[in-house]
Structure 1
Amino acid sequence: MYRIISGKWKAKKIAAPRHFDVRPTTDFAKEALFSILENTYDMQSVSVLDLFAGIGSISLEFASRGCQDVTSVEMNPKHTSFINSTAAELDMSLQISTQRGDVYDWLKKFRNNKSYEIVFADAPFETEEKKYHELLSLVLKNKYLKPNGVLIVEHQSRLKLDHPNFKFTRKYGNVSFSFYEPTPEAEEEISNQEN
């Protein structure tokens, strides 16, 4: 069970079936995360990529706050259908597009297809450090971020995910969010494509 913190569906409780093996971001951490994001971005005009979307806690939070373009990538078919049914129930089907697949394979397959202001990744907590580095590389080297974009990785606080694009980490108990900026080369190429 989790709740939507703010926006159109503020305080709405979302109950996943009991047999789902999920770990939604805590309310406290989610509130802090969105406080940071809303100081930088207008939620109604950003595009978001939610990786390892689980049962949609983060995707639904963005949609509730008015975001019109959320892509949720999740491997478990039961979870993707739960996101779809919840989005339909809350009248968010036009805002959230679910993609079923392994996140690493999906990122390799769709490289350069589209870029986003916000990429959020909440890999399973037992993910090895080297897989996090693969994730960082796939997102940052393949221009998934717009020039003003940010990649946010949720991970165990004991992990330190150093990378040249690292900006800062915010710690909330045993959960941390690490923020990464786009590579300058990606910024140049995207702005050249737009001109």
Structure 2
Amino acid sequence: DSQKLRPSQPAKLKVYDYSVPLLQRLTEGQQQQFRKEIEDYKSHHWWEEVGDHTKGDKKSIGTACTFPVAQSIFKTTKCRPCTDCREINKYLPRASYDGFTIFEATALVRGRWNSSYTLAFLDLSKAFYRLRLGDEKYVHIVTDSHRYCSNRVVFGLVFGPAALSGLVLAVLNAAFTGLLGRPVMCKSTREFTNLVPNLFCVVYYDD
């Protein structure tokens, strides 16, 4: 039954670090780009390096492997770290995202477009890493022969899109409350498309 919760036992603490052979297949430039991204996570304190023999505890929700994915030359990040959270997700409740798909967002903008309108984009860079896990929980991460822990919503966790949608909803409610001078308490990011005449806000995630 898809509505039932997953098993409650903790996920595995040890997983195979398959990022190492994948990195060896990449060019030197791609390897440097990958490691630069990891250093960025560390500098923002989204990841903290830990020892090789870390023991599990009740605060850890499991271990994931972060591996490199080479992207198009047209992408800003040529080699992107992706985290395989499948083992952890086995033991987490399902979570759904109720926002617009890319197709829906594009169709909505095209269908409502007027030559007098101004189009603006607000990008939430590294959005999932802006969110902290609750109850002081954290994820162990292995990559490039190193082990880290993170108390952030690592991209790949099953509840990530729902968590981010909830935060964006809270931010938009606060922003439109200030803009309109009255309480705004929308229950979905979809509701902002018709909230103010001639002003529609379309929230979407491109991953």
What is the TM-score of this pair, normalised by structure 2?
Answer: 0.26
Q: Which has the larger radius of gyration?
A: 2
Question: Whose RCO is larger (CA < 8 A, sep 6+)?
Answer: 2
Greater fraction of residues in strand: 1
